[in-house]
A and B are shown apart, each in its own frame.
Chain A
Amino acid sequence: MARMTPGHNERGELFSAYLDGELTRDEVALVGDMLDGDEDAIAEFHAIREVRATLRLLPEFEVPAALLPDGHLGDRLSAYLDGELVSLEYRRVSRHLVDCPECRAELAELDRARIAVRSLPGVDTGMTGEIPVLPARKRRRGLIAGGIAATAAAAVLVLGLGIGGADAPVYSLDDLAARHVARASAEPASAVLPAMIEVSAP
């Protein structure tokens, strides 16, 4: 950009940008020269400063709280049950569930509703009530080591299904959706929801 002797407009623009801290060192020096003993320039400078200050002192409105997420999981719970979350969000949801009894309770509610819908009669599943137990996924390895870094190892949240003791199968949650379908249709009366949700030890 060619630096010419500033006209009136250019002068005001320099003052404005000066107040915003957006000038180069050369331009700042130029502003200093312009203001040196020039009443006109000084008046213009003050006028610009006043407008700027007025704008910046406008009161800030509070954004209605309903527009912002409340920190709980909300509609992601259903997506979670349905296995529809992408990995980043899935990990966050899992982590939140570990810490938040409210969302765990809501998840349980949703799960019951989901089962109720899915176990509506009329579909012959051909199943007998025995659910084949699939081996736990290999992602069991590298579980939480305390810290966000470890969450790269996918599912940090593991469900003990509350069947039997120490030998109870362990499912990672993203298997859950598939399991729900099978199990809900086979055993309409029983909830699949785990008795406990735990973060497995490293």
Chain B
Amino acid sequence: MFSQLWGSMTEEFKPTWEDVAQRYGRKIYNFAYRLTGNPDDAADLVQEVLLRVRRGLSSYEPGSFDGWLWRITRNAFLDGVRKKQRRPESALPEGDHIMLGASPSPDEVLASVRLSDDVQSALLKLPYEFREAVVLCDVVGLTYDEIAQAADVPVGTVRSRIHRGRKMLREMLTWPV
């Protein structure tokens, strides 16, 4: 998805960490938010990823930028999770939504918040590798190839994880008729 935006630029042009921050900051934030349901964790992750990008850009070889970036993001996320497991657990906050886009009617907002809260809590119940695959695919918008690079698994595994993740979500969510 983003490689399309960046196009051939990635071939010969190395982005700076500011470019990365401006272009991907929001995606990274949303990735972490959907994986954790927690704005603080999402903020921590953005900072950590930008730090790692800043340190790592000099050794980045032009190629699949998305694969590279999302591998860093994923590793930073998992490191953060590991660190947190050694600390006392804090409860996951509910709601706290900042809606974007055109302003829908209050009813629509309410329905949409309620629905996305349901989806969010269903996502949090997925085993990590399924949640990750689904979020990278449907929230971040990566291709299967990019997800495979980020998660360091074969494309076939990605395909199966995405499907199984969606299937589990379907079973957890009840759909309005």
**CB within 8 Å of B: which residues of A?**
1, 9, 12-13, 15-17, 20, 22, 47-48, 50-52, 54-56, 58-64, 67-69, 71, 86, 88-89, 92
**CB within 8 Å of A: which residues of B?**
14, 16-18, 21-22, 25-26, 28-30, 33-34, 39, 42-43, 46-47, 50, 58, 97-101, 112, 115-116, 119-120, 134, 137-139, 143-144, 156, 159-160, 162-163, 166-167, 169-170, 173, 175
Smallest CB separation, B100 vs chain A (Å): 5
Q: Out of A58, A64, A71, which one reaches B116, CB within 8 Å?
A: A58
B160 contact set on A, CB distance < 8 A: 13
Contact B144 A55, beta carbon cutoff 8 Å: no
Contact B29 A55, beta carbon cutoff 8 Å: no
Contact B139 A59, beta carbon cutoff 8 Å: no
Q: Is the interface of B mostly helix, strand, loop or mixed?
A: helix
Contact B144 A47, beta carbon cutoff 8 Å: no
Task: Tell me, in angstroms, the Cα distance from A98 to B142 when the chains sit together.
Answer: 38
Task: Tell me, in angstroms, the Cα distance from A60 to B137 when the chains sit together.
Answer: 14
Contact B42 A54, beta carbon cutoff 8 Å: no
Contact A86 B30, beta carbon cutoff 8 Å: no
Given A67-B43, A69-B21, A86-B58, are A58 and B139 also a contact pair (CB < 8 Å)? yes
Contact B175 A50, beta carbon cutoff 8 Å: yes
Task: Tell me, in angstroms, the Cα distance from A196 to B152 when the chains sit together.
Answer: 52
Contact B42 A61, beta carbon cutoff 8 Å: yes
How many pairs of A and B residues are in contact by the CB < 8 Å rule? 106
Q: Out of B30, B166, B170, which one reaches A60, CB within 8 Å?
A: B30
Contact A55 B167, beta carbon cutoff 8 Å: no
Task: Tell me, in angstroms, the Cα distance from A80 to B44 when the chains sit together.
Answer: 27
Smallest CB separation, B125 vs chain A (Å): 14
Q: Out of B33, B137, B159, which one reaches A61, CB within 8 Å?
A: B33
Smallest CB separation, B29 vs chain A (Å): 4
Task: Tell me, in angstroms, the Cα distance from A61 to B101 when the chains sit together.
Answer: 10
Q: Out of A12, A51, A60, which one reaches B173, CB within 8 Å?
A: A51
Contact A63 B25, beta carbon cutoff 8 Å: yes
Closest B residue to A67 by CB, please name it.
B46
A15 contact set on B, CB distance < 8 A: 163
Closest A residue to B101 by CB, please name it.
A59
Contact A55 B138, beta carbon cutoff 8 Å: yes
Task: Tell me, in angstroms, the Cα distance from A88 to B57 when the chains sit together.
Answer: 11
Given A20-B162, A62-B100, A68-B21, are A12 and B116 also a contact pair (CB < 8 Å)? no
B100 contact set on A, CB distance < 8 A: 59-62
B42 contact set on A, CB distance < 8 A: 61, 63
Given A54-B115, A63-B46, A67-B47, are A48 and B166 also a contact pair (CB < 8 Å)? yes
Q: Out of A9, A20, A47, A60, which one reaches B26, CB within 8 Å?
A: A60
Task: Tell me, in angstroms, the Cα distance from A59 to B101 when the chains sit together.
Answer: 8
Contact A51 B98, beta carbon cutoff 8 Å: no
Smallest CB separation, A91 vs chain B (Å): 10
Task: Tell me, in angstroms, the Cα distance from A61 to B18 when the chains sit together.
Answer: 20
Smallest CB separation, A49 vs chain B (Å): 10
Task: Tell me, in angstroms, the Cα distance from A89 to B14 when the chains sit together.
Answer: 12
Which 3 A-B pairs have CB atoms at the shortest separation, nearest pair first?
A55-B138, A63-B29, A16-B163
Contact B166 A1, beta carbon cutoff 8 Å: no
A60 contact set on B, CB distance < 8 A: 26, 30, 100-101
Closest A residue to B158 by CB, please name it.
A22
> What are 11 of the A-B contact pairs (CB < 8 Å)?
A13-B163, A17-B144, A22-B159, A58-B34, A58-B139, A63-B46, A64-B43, A68-B21, A69-B18, A86-B58, A92-B16
Closest A residue to B46 by CB, please name it.
A67
